[in-house]
Amino acid sequence: MDRSALQRGALGVDLRPGRALWLVAPVVLAALPFVADALGDASITTLATRIVILCIAAASLNLALGYGGMVSFGHAAFLGVGGYTVGMLYSHFVAGAPFLGFVPGTDQMLLTLPAAMIASGLAAAAIGALSLRTGGVQFIMITLAFAQMLFFLFVSLKAYGGDDGMIVRRRNALPFLDTRNDTTFYFVCLVLAAAWLGLLSRIVGSRFGLVLGGIRQSERRMAALGVPIYRYKLAAFVISGMGTGLAGALLGNFSRFVSPDMMHWTQSGELMIMVILGGVGTLMGPVLGAAALIGLETVLAGWTEHWQVVMGPLLVLIVLYLPRGLGSLVSRKAGGRHG
Amino acid sequence: MSLVVEQLLNGVQFGAMLFLLAAGLTLIFGIMGIINLAHGSLFMVGAYAAALTASKTGSFALAVPAGLGAAACAGVAVELLVMRRLYARDHLDQVLATFGLILFFNEMTVILFGRQPLFVQLPAALNVSVPVAPGVLYPVYRLLLIGLGLAVAGGLYLLINRTRLGMLVRAGATNREMVRALGVDIRLIYTAVFGLGALLAGLAGLLSGPLTSVQVGMGERILILAFVVVVIGGVGSVRGAFFGAMIVGMVDTLLRAFLPGLLRNVMAGSEADALGAGLSSMGVYFLMAAVLLARPKGLFVAHG
């Protein structure tokens, strides 16, 4: 117990790997939109916003995948549920007709974000409750199956745009803040991401997180200790789904557009890649992974139209020579999963 | 009535195609413990090599060995360069590496051959229909596909259960170290199995060329269905892959063919079509979820 308490530090954050990073990162992130303005390149802010939002999703997936050992290939479903909650509430707000006859639409972010998290949490509870009856490769595939079902369900829902998706004409509003301003929206996302990551690190360091880690290492041993494994895993899966739903809601606001593509299996794959790329089962791994993947995509795409021909072999090389992900570059001790 | 027979045969034909892909996938997974997302890329390599050979030489007979050869070569190269280093690793590392391979193969194909889909003309001898039942005509090429699928299934059964190589493969799946200790070069066997899987994927690819267009990304669309087949059938079981492929092929084809029509009886035309298309695409995944909830390891559990 005292070892984990040592690791956590004051904010419940593991301070040891790259202490300097913790001091420099907030300054850089806060200064970023102003630097972008000074350079006259507003695309930097939107790129950073996208990275920050996907950090939330990747870190949430990592709670299930890295800490809980539940390899979900269907997390894009929760991204989509979060996004569609925003989109559907907005379209009902505009039309003035309540959803299902009793849920009024809204464009208030203080309502839509919690609604998105509740909706995706419910979806995760349903999918998790069924999927967790299997394990291993079967778990990977059954989560994929449920995500694909939702994907095709939304494709066939003509009332909400079907295949084409739906446009959210205006970003959800916040009191006292103008979310239509890209810089303001960036800071909203940044604060939410920091809060969510802080919460995740508290969860990982708590008794709940330790039990979850124990289950990942040996289910049988934890069962022998009298731990209700299924309930712990389901709880972690639901929290993970809620975080991904939050990211989906922000993504819908950010691009002012939601479509079934948000829950396509390639999106699930991309979230997984971010986590693996950065380092499975580490707090900062998914953050690094999301930043690296989207950053590399953007840089390579600016360099050549055929950027994937460079990206592909690069990923292979990273797997072969950095088995613990990019996080191991920052700190040799980053491997919580292997430690 | 004739429509039902035709769609049933279409289902079997699609199942045969899925089996060719799923057989390689399940062998590679069951025996080497590798999740190979790039299997769909090998399917695409086979399809492209055959389509290009056919269009350059005008000979379908030359296109067949070209597609098989290209897919097998690509498969062996992938095994030697990448997969060989990943056997001892986590499944997650394999997912990341093979995802990288997909990006590479897809974009390389775009660079070499462009984004325009290719179309393959069937030779005149195969481009005919024959009566399969009173009043029902069915294309001879699709019948050929069904026959090939069955032949490959039989051949694989014999190879795995009746030959020395098959015995070593089964032994290697059960206990790799023991087989190695007995003086067998297990790495060579792994390369051979991977090459065989690639060959079958290439066969599926080159055969599907004349039925659909040959284009970038064709591999991933069918790969997910092949994974569904593998999981329904039971990972590592070739027999399971065969029955899984038939079930998935049949369910997918029949739902697509008949569900929109049935829905149109209860709702407006365009909505019925959209909902029908959505529901029939969901059907296969619904089936997989149901199978896994009833039998978490799939229908046929491999016995090594």
B122 to chain A nearest CA, in Å?
32
CB B206 within 8 A of CB B70: no
Q: How far apart are the C-alpha atoms of A268 and A144, rounded to whole Å? A: 8
Tens-digit pLDDT string for chain A (339 aa): 444 444 444 444 454 555 667 778 888 888 888 888 888 888 888 999 999 999 999 999 999 998 998 999 899 999 999 999 999 999 999 888 888 778 888 888 999 999 999 999 999 999 999 899 888 888 888 898 889 889 988 988 888 888 888 998 888 888 888 888 889 999 999 999 999 999 999 999 999 999 999 999 998 999 999 999 999 999 999 999 999 999 999 999 999 999 999 998 889 988 998 998 888 888 888 999 999 999 988 888 888 888 888 888 988 888 888 877 787 776 654 444 443
Q: How far apart are the C-alpha atoms of B120 and A229, rounded to whole Å? A: 54
CB B149 within 8 A of CB B20: yes
* ipTM score of complex: 0.82
B36: which chain A residues are within 8 Å (Cβ-Cβ)?
none
Instruction: Tell me the domain boundaries of chain A.
Output: 2-330
pLDDT at A331 (0 to 100): 60
Write the DSSP assignment of A190-241 as a string of letters.
HHHHHHHHHHHHHHHHSHHHHHHHHHHH-HHHHHHTT--HHHHHHHHHHHHH
Most A CBs within 10 A among B96, B105, B110, hence the mutation to make, goes to: B96
Query: 1.10.3470, 2.60.40, 1.10.8, 3.40.50: which CATH number matches A2-330?
Result: 1.10.3470
- The tens digit of pLDDT for each residue in B115-158 reads 888 888 887 777 888 887 777 888 888 898 999 999 999 999 89
Q: How far is CA A268 from CA A32, A54, A314, B222, in A?
A: 28, 12, 20, 17
Q: Which two tokens stand for residue A148?
A: 């694909």
The answer to whether the CB atoms of B278 and A152 lie below 8 A apart is yes
Q: Which residue has the tokens 């407006």?
A: B268
pLDDT-based confidence at residue B56 (cuts at 50, 70, 90)? confident
- The tens digit of pLDDT for each residue in B243-299 reads 999 999 999 999 988 888 888 888 777 777 778 888 888 888 889 888 888 888 888
Q: How far is CA A105 from CA B90, B119, B205, B284, in A?
A: 45, 48, 48, 34
A144: which chain B residues are within 8 Å (Cβ-Cβ)?
224, 227, 285
Ordered structural domains, chain B, with CATH: 2-121+138-294 (1.10.3470)
Q: How far apart are the C-alpha atoms of A161 and A58, rounded to whole Å? A: 27
